[in-house]
Structures are given as C-alpha cells and as structure tokens.
Chain A
Amino acid sequence: MRLLNQIVAVTVLNLRNLPKRLGSSLVAILGVAAVVVVFAAVLSMANGFERTLLSAGSDDTAIIMRSGATSELSSGVSAQQVQIIETSPGVLRDGDTALVSAELYVVVDVKKKATNEDANVPFRGVELGAFDVRRNIDIVQGRVFEPGKNEFVVGRAAQQEFVGLDVGETIRFGQTEWTVVGVFEAGGSVAESELWTDVRVLQAAYRRGNSYQSVRVRLESEESLAILEQTLADDPRINVDVVSERAYYASQAEQTTGLIRGLGYPLMILMSIGAVFGALNSMYSSISVRGKEIATLRAIGFGPFAVLVSTVVESTLLALIGGLIGAAAAFIAFNGFQASTLGASFSQVVFDFAVTPDLLMQGLQAALVIGVVGGLFPAIRAARLPVAQALREL
C-alpha cells in the first residue's frame, strides 16, 4: 500500500512537471502521432478497397465464366451457352423467367478528374434483368437506359471520379456517341465504378456478334451452387467455371490488398522503431533534467520502484496522447477519401478509404508499445541514479 502511495505521489509530481519539459515531450507525442497517421492512412486504403469489392459479392449469386478465365475481361460465353445456363437446375425463377443476366464487359478510356489522364473504365453491357439479379442497384438520378439506344447509366463513384459523366452529357467512344441518362448506387460496391448499357447495343458497338463474357445467376439458395456447378460440368456442350460472386470478388481483391498490407505493416514497424528512438530520447532528457528532483525524492525515502513506474507512466501517457491525436487526424483526413486504382480486371476500381475502429485500435496498441518500450530503459536508469552523486551536482 505504501508502495502504491509512493508511486502515485511520484507520478503525479512528475506529470505536474510536464509543462516545463514541453519541447521534448511534444517531440515524443508528435513522433507517435505520425506513426499512427501513416499506419491508418495506408491500411485504410487496403480496407476500403477490400470493402468495395467484397460488398459486391453475395453467396447466392454465381458468376459463370469460360473455364480458366481469371476475370470477366478474359472470359467469353456464347449465346447458346447462356441458354443452357438459363435452363439449368439451381437457378432461381420468377414465374417462367430465370433470374439470369448475360453480360459483356469491355473497357473504355475516360479521363480521371484527379490526373486528367486516360483511365480504363469498365463498360458493362447488361440485360434489364441484371437489376433483378443484383439486389442493391438503385437509380438515384435520371432514368435507366432504353434498350437499343446508345445510352448508359453510370455508377455514383465513377461519376464522381471521372470526367464528363454527368446526366445529360454525351461522350464519344470511337465512332459511337453515347448519352449519360442516369446515375445508380450499388451500396458502395465495385459496381458503382462501372458504366452500364444495353448488352445488345454494346455487342454491336464492339462487334462482338452475339457473344457475352460472363453470366450472373441468382441461385435458389447457397447450396444450389454445387448443383449448378455439377450440372454444367457434366454437360459436354459447355466448358465453364462457376464461382459464387463473393468468392470471385474476394479473389479480385486479394492482389491489391495483399500488396498494400505487405507494404503497410513493415512500414509501421520501421516507423515505430523510429518513434521509439524519439521517445527514448525525450525520456532520457526528461530524466537528466529531473536528476536533482529524483535524487531528492530518493534521499527523503521514496523507493527506486516508484521512480521507475512514474517514468514509464509518463512516457506511456505521452505516447497515448500522441496515438489519440494521430488516430483523430487520420480519421478526419482520410476516412471517406475517394481514390481509384487499377484492379485485377485491368480496369478502374473507385473506392473510399476506410479508417475502421479496428485500425485505430491497432494504431493505439502500437502507440502503447512505443510508450512502454521508450520509457522502460530511461526508467531503469532513473531508478539506479546514484543519489549522492546526483545531489552533489546541485
């Protein structure tokens, strides 16, 4: 109990002294804040990208592509194969019509607002049924394209990110002029990075005959995936891969998020080491400034352990303050920040940075570790300070 009293007394004394050592304390605080900001910024990019792709995937929707194709862009499916898929078991039916959407996926050059450079924007040809196969598509401005016309609707994210995609504007791809007639939202998913038009119009514009690249299917249930897969595998007329939409988008997200995380975590470790040096430095100088004070405390009967604990508490507190400042700054500056990059389908994915609570907690944990490590060694030295010698320096 006496020890606890001592610890509290020394720590309080220590903290009340802090304003006098503002300069070096600020260095420690800002060093830790910088670590947390950078960490949260980089990792929020990976989180946001992943969230955008994963939120597009549901387990009871399947994507069917030519066997071996790794993305819609490299796939090809004939009209005859689409018919086979439409009549297969496992496909959800609304009355007589199967909830199936055969789609064409091409890429067009549109300038990015941020760089004013051409970017590969995905241009998807769909049948009107596509709006039923995917559940979360809402037209929020204008209207749906009319089949047979050179019109398209644009995803909310694409409309914000790229030049010239407001409703009513016309845009030329090659020899065809297109009119933007509407904007749609898709729950923040990757579909919002796309332009959608009537698949037949797109087939004609791109001389694709009557061929498609992927078929999206609403399944009767999650378990129907295996049934559909088996049926199509047994059919000699068709050679396709069937994957759930969730699995497809997860594999699309993998490479980019892996790259960002592979960069982000080593970065955090390196910067943390730098911040530990900063914290060590300011704690050592704090002790050298307080040498006489500590010696006096020891001389009047305070134990070395109390001195040790008070120093560690001081540095941990400074690091936590830094961590909180960093977390707040990262959240304010980066959460919701919109960016776009080239995804696995060789086309742009527009996403928002997501500074999640989970990320902030990880950042604060790092701050805590920096604080404890940065305080421990100076604390040991403070505790071992030879009292007589330190007092003589007075």
Chain B
Amino acid sequence: MKYLGLIWHSVWRKKIRTSLTILSVFVAFLLFALLSAVGFAFRGGEDVADAERLIVLEKVSIINPLPSSYQARIQAVPGVEAVTHANWFGGYYQEPRNSQFAQFPVRPYEYFTLYPELQMPEEQLRAWANNREGAVVGSQMAEALGWEVGDRIPITATIFPKTDGSMTWEFDIEGIFASDDPRGVTNFMLFDYEYFDEARAHSRGQVGWYILRVEDGADPVAIANAIDRQFENSPAETDTSTEAAFAASFAAQFGNIALIVSLILGAVFFTLLLVSGNTMSQSVRERISELAVLKTVGFEDSTVLGIVLSESVLIMLLGGLLGLGTGWLLIQSGGLLPGLYLPASTILLALAFMIGAGVLAGLFPALKAMRLSIIDALAVRA
C-alpha cells in the first residue's frame, strides 16, 4: 500500500499512452457488460425460474393442447399443492410487430396464487375476476404501449377467431402487475380463460399447459413422474419438468447464440490483453534504468515485481470499472433494449477478468524487471 504513490506516478508517466490503453480496456468491458446482458436475455431468464414450480406440457410438442379435464387429475396427485393452466393466445395489438407482447388466457385467482412474485393490488385482482372482458397487463408492456387501468383495448387474434368469426377481441384493463424480482419479465397480458373458452370458435375445452407447485418438502421429480405416468398411453401424453429445466431447454432452441457471444468476448479479451501487455512492456523498457536505481537503493526483487504487476492491474481496473459502470448505466436506463438485466455473477466475473488480465499482461514485463541485473541496466543509457 505504501507504494501506491509510486505506482500511480509510474502509471501516468506517459499520459497519452496510458489513457489510450485505459480507453481500450474501457471499450472491452463495456462490450462485456452489454453482451452478457444480451446473452442473459437469450437464456430466457432460466435463472429466475422457480424450481418448485412444475410445467406440464403435451409430450409430442409444446404446440399440442391438453384437455382441461386434466386439472382435477393433476390436483389429485399426492404432493401437488396448487395447479392452474394457461393458453397461448398469439394475438397482437395494432401491428403484428407488437407480437413480442404475449397474451395468456388464465384463471385469475389461481394464476396469481401460483406466481406470488407478480405483485398487483388486491382490489385490481378482484375487479379483473369480476369482469369477463377484463384483462391485466405487466408493467413493462403497459409502459411500452402507454396503457392505463380503465383503457379498453382491441387485440387481434391470429389463432382464435370468436364464434361470430371476428378476429378482434376487446378487453378492459383492470390492473397492472409488476414483478418483485428485477430480472422478472412482465411483458405479457392475462385475461379470463372462462370468457376465452366460451367465445372462441374452435378448440374448446383445451388448455396449453398446466403449472403446478409442489408441497414443501415433496420431491418434484417423483411428482413429475407420477403425473406423466397417469396420462401414459392416453391420446394426450404429458411431459412434466421443472420451470427451470423447461426455461433452459427452451433457451437452447435459440442455439448457438451463447457460443457466438463467448466467441466475441474471447476475441475482445485477446485484443485487450495484447494492447495492455504491449503498453506494459514498453513502459518497463523505457524505465530500465529507473527500475535499476530502485533496486540499487534496496528494493527487493519481489517488491519490484509487485510494483510492475500492480501498475498493470491498476490500468485494467481503471478502464474496466469505467466500462462496466457505463454498461450498467446503459442497461439500467433501458435505452438500448428494454428488459435487459446485468446479473451480479457477470459483475464478479468481470472483476475477476480485470485482475486476471492485469496480472497476465504485466507478468512478463514484471519478471523482466525483477530479473534485471543492476550493473547491466545502469550501464544502458536509455
């Protein structure tokens, strides 16, 4: 610590060079932050999924429906605490490109019991349950489309016409819910299944999937197997998995995105290492006589090694923290893409990278400085 002043002065010995190096480190970690957030979004929030919640899907494909009569039979499986169901509606608001906002017909009270992380005032939930044509929307969606409680909005269906052949479904917004988890996604809308089932022209009595929670201490895997066994050899066999496993396997469908993100990060870090390693070795080369003087006046080899390494780590930290901070600000502001989130694990990883890259980049110059022979070094007039 007592050498901090010396290190600080050596770092800023060549202001332009150090600034440029810090700037390239800055860019690298800014990229790291942004790409990690995008990668996290692609993984579909599998990290926020609840391991106690199970999802029951039709076995052959997620697009095949299940009969609504399964609800009672799933509820009867020992260890199942609560169960409800949802459908994929697949509509859009005004423009097909607004279809990133999903809509699900669900049973109001049951759904909110199974998703306690969704926060909504009690009276809004009641108002929604009492209005057949009512709907509630997530805060992200309400914000993006400028909706408020009391609005009546038309949703164009792509799969489900109404019995009168119309593709337009109108809903009253009765509530807006938020997630108590900052990573939670709330860009979807919920409306009443009863109404949906009566008003749709086809596929009545069929639901998309079931969601259930197991009792405390019950084994989710055993329950999942018990459910699947119950429907074996029926026309609609089931495939039950934890929400986390489902999210992970769904994210895997996007394929090589994760690979590509890590590839880019690899290229970025490689470049970064080259740039800062180069800076450090130049800096050492220029200061050979200076370092020799330090050793002459009694600095230990290990102290010289430590000083040079610290310089390199300091440069990395200066640029890295700046880049990470800027990335964090950009992500928080939501200016790039709404709904991005920077997980804490990424921040820790970035810190580890900064220190690791700093040590790696400084290692060879530092070793060179340490092994410096005083006589030779002082003889060189650099």
- Interface residue ranges, A against B (CB under 8 Å): 23-24, 26-27, 30-31, 34, 37-38, 41-42, 45, 66-71, 73-76, 106-109, 112, 114-115, 117-120, 173-175, 206-207, 239, 255, 263, 267, 270-271, 273-275, 277-278, 280-282, 284-285, 339-342, 346, 348
Contacts and interface: CB of A to CB of B under 8 A. Distances in A.
Given A76-B202, A263-B38, A274 B271 contact: yes
B64 A117 contact: no
Contact of A67 (B30, B61, B90, B167): B167
B254 A109 contact: no
Contacts of A24: 278, 282
Contacts of B278: 23-24, 27, 281-282, 285
A275 B158 contact: no
B233 interface: yes
Given A31-B275, A69-B158, A346-B63, A271 B268 contact: yes
B368 interface: no
Contacts of B249: 117-118
Contacts of A274: 23-24, 27-28, 31, 268, 271-272
Given A106-B63, A274-B271, A280-B20, A70 B253 contact: no
A174 B59 CA distance: 7
Contact of B260 (A31, A45, A273): A45
A239 B254 contact: no
A74 B158 contact: yes
A346 B208 CA distance: 15
A277 B267 contact: no
Contacts of B296: none
Given A26-B274, A66-B161, 9 more contacts: A38-B263, A108-B61, A119-B253, A173-B60, A267-B31, A274-B28, A277-B275, A280-B20, A341-B254
B256 A114 contact: yes
A354 B368 CA distance: 46
B61 A114 contact: no
Nearest to B234: A175
B263 A115 contact: no
A70 B89 CA distance: 13
The 8 A-B residue pairs whose C-beta atoms are closest, nearest first, are A274-B27, A277-B24, A117-B252, A174-B60, A74-B158, A74-B159, A34-B267, A341-B255
Contacts of A341: 253-257
B159 A69 contact: yes
Contact of B253 (A69, A120, A275): A120
Contacts of B281: 23
A109 B63 CA distance: 10
B299 interface: no
B242 interface: no
Interface of B: 16-17, 20-21, 23-24, 27-28, 30-31, 35, 38, 59-64, 90, 92, 96-97, 99, 156-159, 161, 165, 167, 202, 233, 235, 237, 248-249, 252-257, 260, 263-264, 267-268, 270-272, 274-275, 278-279, 281-282
A30 B274 contact: yes
Nearest to B167: A68
B277 to A, nearest CB: 8
A115 B252 contact: yes
A270 B27 contact: yes
A115 B255 contact: yes
Contacts of B257: 341
- Interface centre among A45, A207, A278, A341, by most B CB within 10 Å? A278
Nearest to B22: A277
A141 to B, nearest CB: 25
Contacts of B99: 70
- Interface centre among B263, B274, B279, by most A CB within 10 Å? B274
Contacts of B61: 106-109, 120, 173
B20 A284 contact: yes
27 contacts: A27-B278, A31-B271, A41-B263, A42-B260, A66-B161, A68-B167, A69-B159, A70-B92, A71-B158, A74-B158, A106-B61, A108-B60, A112-B253, A119-B252, A174-B60, A175-B237, A207-B235, A267-B264, A271-B268, A274-B24, A277-B20, A277-B24, A277-B275, A282-B278, A284-B16, A285-B17, A341-B255
Contacts of A267: 31, 35, 264
A259 to B, nearest CB: 9
A30 B272 CA distance: 10
A370 to B, nearest CB: 12
Contact of B60 (A76, A109, A278, A280): A109
A263 B257 CA distance: 12
Contacts of B27: 270-271, 273-274, 277
A351 to B, nearest CB: 10
Nearest to A258: B97
